[in-house]
Amino acid sequence: MRPLNNICAGSVVLTSNCDQKCCFCVRDEDVQDYTLDAIRRMLLTLRKDGVEYLVLTGGEPSSRTDLVDLLNYSAELGFSRIQVQTNGAIADYQDVIRVLSEMTSICRVEVTVSLHSSFANTHDELVNRKGSWSRAISAIDTCSQAGIHVATNAVITARNTSNLFEIAELSKSHNCHHVQLSLMHISDLSTSNLKPRLTEALKEARTTVSKFEQRFVQVEGFPVCLLRDMEYSCSELYWPGLIKTFKVSSGNTIDYYQTEFGRQRFWPDSCSSCGISRVCPGVWREYSNEFEVIRTK
């Protein structure tokens, strides 16, 4: 799978530190908290490799005390689009939000906030931290008021499958640019009993997509063929055509689509004859059996 657009993106994991313990976490706990100079070298390498769209993720990026310096340096390097992914903790760092707001005059700035339920208690239980839902809402409002493009991301689990419409509705009411509904991916850190049934997740996701204007609700982790008549909602179709991640051991960048992505997704052999196979993201491998059953119906 490779999207058709020609944007080149780069992703940097700034830290593994996070004050939440999400039941569905897929982060690499072995990631080091590299020095400011080391991260600067990573950013410079990505920019020299043609990266225009920079994604800063974690852990929780705002847990780095030098995040403001990293943001300023990213702006100096000339990235045209910078996204920061946060669990909402960014709301506690007004200096970070101020810098992001100032950067909107020279590049597109986006903050993606994790929001896994419209109910505070459900969200807080999923991330194992009381008060996280209120903080996420505060982050959304604060960033939006600062002129920053804000989106939300909800991981679809067995606990919130029936709540997807309300999550999207809540995001809309807080002036979010869009909401992404991401099918849960099981990792060594995640809790497998939270894995949703693919049929139920698909049904609720499709219903939610249909209730809003095109592309406000985007879904991630579903094959395009399961999104018939609403293919426009497939998040991966709008991903950059090239995503580079920094390989610390070699000091070079690697192509995400040819490495991690291909190992994690599943496409049946019969998909090769499909007209959209080149751009279809497939499905997480742990849903392969369910996907095969759905396709044969």
Q: What is the pLDDT of residues 75-124, one digit of tens each?
A: 999 999 999 999 999 999 999 999 999 999 999 999 999 999 999 999 99
pLDDT, position 218: 98
> Using an 8 Å Cβ cutoff, are 209 and 235 in contact?
no
The pTM assigned to this predicted structure is: 0.93
For residues 105, 49, 41, 250, the Cα torsion angle rounded to the nearest 10 degrees is 150
Residue 41 CB contacts under 8 Å (≥ 6 apart), including other chains:
none
With respect to residue 1, please indicate whether it lies within any of the assigned structural domains.
no
pLDDT, position 60: 96
Q: How many CA atoms lie within 13 A of 284 on its CB side?
A: 16
Amino acid (one-letter) located at 19: D
pLDDT, position 241: 81
With respect to residue 2, please indicate whether it lies within any of the assigned structural domains.
no
Interatomic CA distance for residues 253 and 46, integer angstroms: 7
- Domain tally, the chain: 1
* Number of residues in the chain: 297
pLDDT, position 246: 67
pLDDT, position 242: 81
Q: Tokens in use for 207?
A: 């219903």
With respect to residue 188, please indicate whether it lies within any of the assigned structural domains.
yes
Residues of the chain with pLDDT under 50: none
Interatomic CA distance for residues 256 and 55, integer angstroms: 13
pLDDT, position 113: 98
Question: Residue 75 is part of which domain span?
Answer: 8-296
- Residue 34 sits in a domain of what CATH number? 3.20.20.70
With respect to residue 168, please indicate whether it lies within any of the assigned structural domains.
yes
pLDDT, position 79: 97
With respect to residue 153, please indicate whether it lies within any of the assigned structural domains.
yes
pLDDT, position 31: 66
With respect to residue 39, please indicate whether it lies within any of the assigned structural domains.
yes
With respect to residue 3, please indicate whether it lies within any of the assigned structural domains.
no
pLDDT, position 188: 64
Interatomic CA distance for residues 21 and 86, integer angstroms: 14
